[in-house]
Amino acid sequence: MPSGESFFITTPIFYVNDVPHIGHAYTEVAADVLARWHRQAGDDTWLLTGTDEHGQKILRTAVANGVEPKQWADKLVDSAWLPLLETIDIANDDFIRTTEPRHEDAVALFLQKLYDDGFIYAGEYEGYYCVGCEEYKQLDELDTPTEGEYAGQLVCRIHSRPVEILKEKNYFFRMSQFTDALLDLYETQPDFVQPESVRNEIVQFVRQGLSDLSISRSSFDWGIKVPWDPSHVVYVWFDALLNYVTAVGYGTDDEQFARRWPAYHLVGKDIARFHAVIWPAMLMAAGLPVPRKVFGHGWLLVGGEKMSKSKLTGIAPQQITDTFGSDAFRYYFLRAITFGQDGSFSWEDLSARYQAELANGFGNLASRVIAMVGRYYDGALPAPAGYTDADLAIQRVVAKAAADADDAIERFAINEAIAAIWTIVDELNGYITEQEPWVLAKDEATRARLGTVLYTASEGLRALATLLAPIMPIATGKLWAALAGEGHGPLAEQGVREAGTWGVLQPGSAVSPLEPLFPRIEDVADTGAA
């Protein structure tokens, strides 16, 4: 994408019925890495996240805890969801709560428009409802277990809890009218839904033909009132999906809306259908542009199953960051799992990668090079003097890594981008071993060669700091502070798309000592984290 373009990326807004686990943090981190990359490339970037606070699920949790739903939501947002962003270092531009007036007012406006334009009618509905999903289910989406607590009952395949039979007078959105337009969208914009596995599932689903969608509830009142009939509240998904436009000025700030919309949506694959079917149909009905892309990432699995709080397999992000730090958290989940596929989490794998890739691979490389510039050149970056084939090979690796990483980020292939960047770490480690700067330092006759080797290694580190900044902001910030003395500008201004260009560091500039970027972790078992 050419520099300077608008890049608006969103995460799902999270239900406040419970506290976050690492599955939620995974979506946040992925969106944040994409946003930081684009921001550092000079694109007009906006990262939106937030909380989904209406509906039966939240209402029931609040009632069970003996408080009003709004009180419950306030408590969870302040004590859990906002702190999560700090724990994993998310640089979001906005945080929307669906109970805010800016959202509620704009939802009412949107709904009234659809009603006035004939896309909404009153009808009756009877079906199986899963409160966990906040969704009516078809029989083929349900299981009947033969044993256990719910033996013989119809249970939701995602939540493993019984569904309820609901019969209601509802308002309906004429979604069926959009079947052909949606199929046309998937056809003409093949990357609208990604990855392919999710796209295929969605196309197959829509090909069967869509029903109209029930978009109001009258059996409880925790929601946004339907403007022409206040005895109904808006269906929580209809309300929630609209956050993506209400947060950027739909109905209130045309300039902001035109600048940001349409967005890229990052969601878990379980909710891709809401985003790739219902949401574009709603937008089409309102005459608004559809999203640029819906990317459905995979699940974090524990014991082969989707990790979830309701199944008591949830791990709190802080359990990991307390021991390994937020950089390692961000790196690990995006590196170890192919973005778009499921991935199993294990403490052993995290610990092994921390040691091998972060501490020994990257951290050590940075410490050694910077220490040698300190020791042999008194902390003033030496100038290169005539490049050999080995040096030029490093320059080529850096240029290729930067180009490949940007290309991968364009495709949301975050793990591929990190793997591309890591070729610099691996090549530089090999280069240092072969060039043996500590041997060159012993002889005045090889002083010029030593300067070239250390300049080359420092430039490699410069590219690493630049390219890894979106993934590991803390470690790269420390590296940049040590490596790039005055005159180089802040790390945030080192363009990722120019990172492959050689010769940014100025010879003679100050290089200062660096503390270990990834300190040794004695024993994970001792931390209680294993």
* Residue 300 within binding range of ligand MSP, rule CB under 6 A: yes
Given the residues 70, 113, 169, 309, the one annotated as active site:
309
* Residue 334 within binding range of ligand MSP, rule CB under 6 A: no
Cα–Cα distance list, 177 to 5, 211, 317, 493 (Å): 33, 9, 43, 48
Q: Are strands 120-130 and 135-137 parallel, antiparallel or unpaired?
A: antiparallel
Stretch of 101-109, 264-272, 316-324, 482-490 contacting ligand MSP, by CB under 6 A: 264-272
- What does the block give as tokens for 511? 């290089």
Q: What is the 3-state secondary structure (H, E, C) of 332-394?
A: HHHHHCCECECEECCHHHHHHHHHHHHHHHHHHHHHHHHHHHHHHHCCECCCCCCCCHHHHHH
Residue 156 is among the residues annotated as catalytic for this protein: yes
* Residue 308 within binding range of ligand MSP, rule CB under 6 A: yes
Given the residues 156, 232, 293, 297, the one annotated as active site:
156
Given the residues 70, 75, 113, 159, the one annotated as active site:
159
* Residue 280 within binding range of ligand MSP, rule CB under 6 A: no
CB under 8 Å to 237, separation ≥6 — which residues? 134, 135, 274, 278
* Residue 13 within binding range of ligand MSP, rule CB under 6 A: yes
Given the residues 24, 38, 54, 232, the one annotated as active site:
24
Residue 137 is among the residues annotated as catalytic for this protein: no
Contact 86, 20 (CB under 8 A): no
For residue 212, the 8-state DSSP code is: P
Q: Site for ligand MSP (CB under 6 A): which residue of 264, 299, 377, 431?
A: 299
CB under 8 Å to 290, separation ≥6 — which residues? 185, 192, 262, 279, 280, 283, 284
What is the rounded CA–CA span in Å between residue 190 and residue 187?
6
Q: Cβ of residue 212: shortest distance to ligand MSP, in angstroms?
A: 20
CB atoms within 10 A of CB 442: 10
Among residues 470, 505, 478, 507, which one has the least CA distance to residue 489?
505
Q: Helices 317-324 and 326-336, interaxial angle, to 10°?
A: 110
* Residue 8 within binding range of ligand MSP, rule CB under 6 A: no
Q: Site for ligand MSP (CB under 6 A): which residue of 47, 210, 240, 350?
A: 240
* Residue 57 within binding range of ligand MSP, rule CB under 6 A: no
Q: Cβ of residue 254: shortest distance to ligand MSP, in angstroms?
A: 23
Given the residues 103, 133, 269, 275, the one annotated as active site:
133
Stretch of 12-20, 29-37, 59-67, 193-201 contacting ligand MSP, by CB under 6 A: 12-20
* Residue 23 within binding range of ligand MSP, rule CB under 6 A: yes
What is the rounded CA–CA span in Å between residue 305 and residue 3?
41
Distance of CA 24 to the CA centre of its chain: 9
Q: Helices 414-435 and 389-410, interaxial angle, to 10°?
A: 170
Q: Site for ligand MSP (CB under 6 A): which residue of 48, 114, 215, 271?
A: 271
Closer CB to ligand MSP, residue 343 or residue 384? 343
* Residue 238 within binding range of ligand MSP, rule CB under 6 A: no
For the chain, give the number of residues: 530
Q: Cβ of residue 322: shortest distance to ligand MSP, in angstroms?
A: 20
Q: Site for ligand MSP (CB under 6 A): which residue of 69, 223, 262, 268?
A: 268
Site for ligand MSP in 452-471 (CB under 6 A): none
Contact 13, 38 (CB under 8 A): no
Stretch of 112-120, 235-243, 378-386, 418-426 contacting ligand MSP, by CB under 6 A: 235-243
* Residue 12 within binding range of ligand MSP, rule CB under 6 A: yes
- Give the CB-nearest residue to ligand MSP: 268
Residue 306 is among the residues annotated as catalytic for this protein: yes
Size of the site for ligand MSP (CB under 6 A): 21
Residue 38 is among the residues annotated as catalytic for this protein: no
Q: Site for ligand MSP (CB under 6 A): which residue of 97, 306, 335, 449?
A: 306
Q: Cβ of residue 481: shortest distance to ligand MSP, in angstroms?
A: 34
For residue 233, the 8-state DSSP code is: E
Closer CB to ligand MSP, residue 25 or residue 408? 25
Contact 249, 256 (CB under 8 A): yes
Q: Site for ligand MSP (CB under 6 A): which residue of 307, 350, 414, 491?
A: 307
Among residues 433, 450, 314, which one has the least CA distance to residue 381?
450
* Residue 15 within binding range of ligand MSP, rule CB under 6 A: yes
Dihedral pair phi/psi, residue 291, rounded to 5°: -60, 160
Residue 400 is among the residues annotated as catalytic for this protein: no
Closer CB to ligand MSP, residue 58 or residue 369? 58
Binding site for ligand MSP (CB under 6 A): 12-15, 23-24, 26-27, 52, 240-241, 243, 267-268, 270-271, 299-300, 306-308
- Residues noted as catalytic: 21, 24, 130, 133, 156, 159, 306, 309
